[in-house]
Amino acid sequence: MEKLIERIAKAPTGAKVAVVAAVAFAVTALNFFVIGVPTFSASISDMEARIQKAEAQQKKLDQDYIEKQAIANNLNQFRREKELLERRLQDALAELPNDKKLDELLQLFQDRATKAGLDILTIEPQPQVSEGFYARIPIPMTVQGNYHEVATFLDAVGRLRRIVNVNGLSFDSPKDQNGKVVLAAKFLATTFMFLDPKDAKPAAGAAKP
């Protein structure tokens, strides 16, 4: 080593500069490979982690897009199904309303009686009777007309959208009226309504409408 130093010391100035430059380059290279490599490796690991995170986020976004696109494609179908269910609900409520609507029903009775050509003598709605999730409303009635008129009226009542059962039909007091035999027909008309769940009461052995 001492001989190498002496030779460098005795060497011309240009040679000395070259030696110093070579030593400096060697030191720099050593620093890069020995000290800088871990830092460079750490940067690569961090970049790979970011790439994996970005790929996971992209996968989630793609899945969300597919799901939302499927909903958008079926939106019209959902709307049609909703409209169909609403129509079915309205039909059900027409047959079995969620309130009595007795004034409306009594007016329908009167209209059908007038068209049939008979008179309603008495009509006496009774208090509703709970039958679980629904209630029945008895309406004793007496009408006057001939057999054909009574039959026409009862047929028209049976065709109402709202459910109305008729039973206990009886005839009495026949009489001649201007050459036409008229009589009094008595019967019980029963209609029904939905009950609010909080008002519903269980009914053992109750007949359903």
Q: How many domains does the chain have?
A: 2
Retrieve residue 50's tokens.
């970011």
Q: Which of 80, 96, 112 is the last residue of a domain?
A: 96
pLDDT of residue 208: 45
Domain range enclosing 31:
1-96
pLDDT of residue 207: 46
- The verdict on residue 201 lying in a domain is no
The answer to whether 128 touches 139, Cβ cutoff 8 Å, is: no
pLDDT of residue 24: 54
Retrieve residue 93's tokens.
């409520």
Do 153 and 169 sit in the same domain of this protein?
Answer: yes
Do 127 and 89 sit in the same domain of this protein?
Answer: no
Do 109 and 89 sit in the same domain of this protein?
Answer: no
| Number of DSSP helices (H) and strands (E) in the chain, helices first | 6, 5
Retrieve residue 116's tokens.
């049939």
Q: Which residues contact 207 (CB under 8 A, 6 or more apart)?
A: 131
Q: What is the pLDDT along the chain (209 residues), one digit of tens a residue?
A: 555 455 555 556 555 555 555 655 555 555 555 555 555 556 777 777 788 888 888 888 888 888 877 777 777 776 776 676 666 656 555 555 666 788 999 999 999 999 999 999 999 999 999 888 888 999 999 999 999 999 999 999 999 988 899 999 999 988 988 888 999 999 999 999 888 766 555 554 444 44
Q: Which of 63, 79, 96 is the last residue of a domain?
A: 96
Whole-structure pTM value = 0.53
